[in-house]
Structure 1
Amino acid sequence: MIRTIVALCFVFAVASARTTKIIQCGDSAGKVTNVDVNPCDSDVCTFKPNTEVTVTGELTTASTAANPTLSVQVEVAGVFIEYPGISKNACDYLACPLKADAPNKFTIKITTLDWLPPMESKMQFHVYESEGGAELACAQADIAIAK
């Protein structure tokens, strides 16, 4: 998650990160755990525009993947859209190849968007074994957008 995670992926002006509440999504056997969002100080992270956010965590998959891909999406008006500016190459955010049945640490840095209206939403974080391949893990987090 997340974050997911979604986004993924997360802003509220505080000094320390905390474990963020996520749910697993999708049908994959993999799991996203220990997600920290910095800055964030509540179970529902509130994001302000044009702020850099760092999302860290661990991903465990049932299989290895040499060329995993990443999709971070945010829900806008009931539809999940790709979060712009995030590479689809998951190896940009975690060590590759992904190891099966072992924690694979990740770090994603995101600059929050300035065009989203104030709202409550969801962010999803999907990892696939390759472009068009099977989903390895999915996490989702509830978020809020502030102005």
Structure 2
Amino acid sequence: MDARVGFIVGLCLMGLTCASPVKFVDCGSSSGKVAMVDINPCSTQPCQLHKGDSYTVNVTFNSGVESQTSTAVVHGIIAGVPIPFPIPEPDGCKSGIQCPIQKEKTYNYATELPVKSEYPPIKLVVEWELKDDSKNDLFCIRFPVQIV
């Protein structure tokens, strides 16, 4: 039993070395407050996202409202123009958040960000919103990335 516990702790520590807090800008979180954002794996900033790979985006936030649902909307901002960026699971309630969302409670939203092979190599800003029942932003964050 001790060997299994040691193995699990080791895996957790390796995961922490691959993910570091990402510098982000709040872009209008009207219904919540973001505490931390990390992308795994991401060892540099801006995060270098390799084509064909998938990354885990984790956002820890405190909700200021109650909501039965949460929906993610993601855009890549290129030359000031927001381009929709589809993600596999836009339902926040299936991405680590136990719904219904309660006011003044902290949540950890975690989802996959696939980087398709056909994406061009480019530097851009990702805008990630998680919307409540009223379509207000539980959080809205922007962070720079580079597709390589």
* Smaller-chain TM-score bracket: 0.7 to 0.9
SS in 2 for 1:49: coil
Structure 1 distance, partners of 2:116, 2:77, is 13
Partner of 1:114 in structure 2? Answer: 117
- Paired position in structure 1 for 2:64: 62
Unaligned runs of 5+ in 1: 1-14
1:102 aligns with 2:105: yes
Moved over 6 A (4+): none
State the Cα distance separating 1:116 from its structure 2 match: 2.2
Deviations 1:32-73 (A, max 9, x none): 222111111112101110102111131212101111211122
Unaligned runs of 5+ in 2: 1-16
Question: Whose radius of gyration is greater, 1 or 2?
Answer: 2
Q: Deviations over 1:50-97 (max 9, x none)?
A: 102111131212101111211122123432122223333221212211
2:12 aligned partner:
none
Instruction: Give me the TM-score of the superposition, normalised by structure 1.
Output: 0.79
Partner SS, residue 18 of structure 2: coil
Q: Which TM-score applies when normalising by structure 2? A: 0.79
Q: Distance in 1 between matches of 2:84 and 2:92?
A: 14
Count of residue pairs brought into register by the alignment: 131
| Residue 84 of structure 1 pairs with residue 76 of structure 2 | no
With over 3 angstroms needed to count, the CA separation of the structure-2 counterparts of 1:85 and 1:127, relative to structure 1, is closer
- Once the two structures are TM-superposed, the CA of residue 143 in structure 1 deviates from its matched residue by 0.8
Give the aligned residue type for 2:60.
E
- Whether 2:32 is the aligned partner of 1:30: answer yes
The 2-side partners of 1:51 and 1:38 are apart by: 11
Residue identity (%)? 24
Alignment partners' CA distance in 1, 2:29 and 2:102: 19
Which residue number corresponds to residue 22 of structure 2? 20
Aligned-residue Cα RMSD (Å) equals: 1.8
> 2:130 aligned with 1:127, yes or no?
yes
What is the alpha-carbon distance in structure 2 between the residues aligned to residue 27 and residue 33 of structure 1? Answer: 12
Change over 3 Å in CA distance of 1:113–1:33 after alignment to 2: farther
SS at match of 1:113: coil
Structure 1 range deviating more: 119-128 or 74-83: 74-83
Q: How much has 1:27 moved relative to structure 2?
A: 5.4
Query: Which has the higher relative contact order, 1 or 2, with Cα contacts under 8 A spaced 6 or more apart?
Result: 1
Checking the alignment, whether the CA contact within 8 Å between 1:59 and 1:137 is kept in structure 2 is yes
Which has a greater percent of helix?
2
Q: What is the CA–CA distance in structure 1 between the aligned matches of 2:32 and 2:21, rounded to whole Å? A: 19
